[in-house]
């Protein structure tokens, strides 16, 4: 890795419009939401799913949050919501290409988390011991 002193070898290798950066932050804040990530994960693994099934597979999500998160995702162009006009209603959700690409981008974080779980737990234990002193 390049030493931190060198000219910012970060994501931004070019002059960054602060307004663009602010928007990126906002998008990341919204999009990197816990339930959004989990729903994308579930949709990648299972493909198109109905509302209730999606909730079951996500695990521990309330109906309210499920609706709310799905609406946001739909608005952001991450999922497509298909209503089948039957009784009882059948509504299915699937990822758009945009949603899929976000899942792939986020995959790196997921892998990072799995890989470094133990390191984090160790760090916490060490910190808590230090903190007691």
Q: For its own copies, which residue of 27, 63, 82, 90 counts as binding (CB under 8 A)? A: 27
Least separation, in Å, of the C-beta of 77 and DNA?
17
Q: Indicate the Cα dihedral angle 8, 14, 16, 21, nearest 10°.
A: -70
Inter-residue contact 65 to 35 (CB < 8 Å): yes
Q: For its own copies, which residue of 45, 63, 67, 89 counts as binding (CB under 8 A)? A: 45
Least separation, in Å, of the C-beta of 20 and its own copies?
7
Residue 92 near its own copies by CB under 8 A = no
Which window, 16-24, 31-39, 106-114, 119-127, contacts DNA (CB under 7 A)?
A: 31-39
Of residues 36-95, those binding DNA (CB under 7 A): 50-53, 60-65, 67, 70-71, 81, 88-92
Residue 15 near its own copies by CB under 8 A = no
Residue 82 near which of DNA, its own copies, none (CB within 5-8 Å, type-dependent): none
């Amino acid at each position: 890795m390049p030493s931190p002193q060198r000219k910012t070898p970060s994501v931004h290798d070019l002059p960054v419009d602060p307004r663009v950066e602010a928007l990126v932050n906002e998008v990341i804040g919204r999009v990197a939401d816990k339930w959004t990530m989990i729903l994308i994960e579930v949709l990648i693994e299972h493909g198109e799913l109905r509302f209730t099934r999606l909730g079951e597979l996500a695990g521990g999500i309330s109906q309210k949050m499920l609706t709310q998160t799905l609406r946001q995702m739909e608005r952001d162009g991450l999922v497509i919501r298909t209503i089948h006009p039957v009784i009882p209603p059948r509504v299915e959700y699937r990822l758009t290409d945009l949603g899929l690409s976000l899942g792939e981008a986020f995959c790196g974080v997921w892998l990072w988390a799995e890989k470094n779980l133990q390191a984090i737990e160790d760090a916490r234990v060490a910190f808590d011991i230090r903190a007691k002193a």
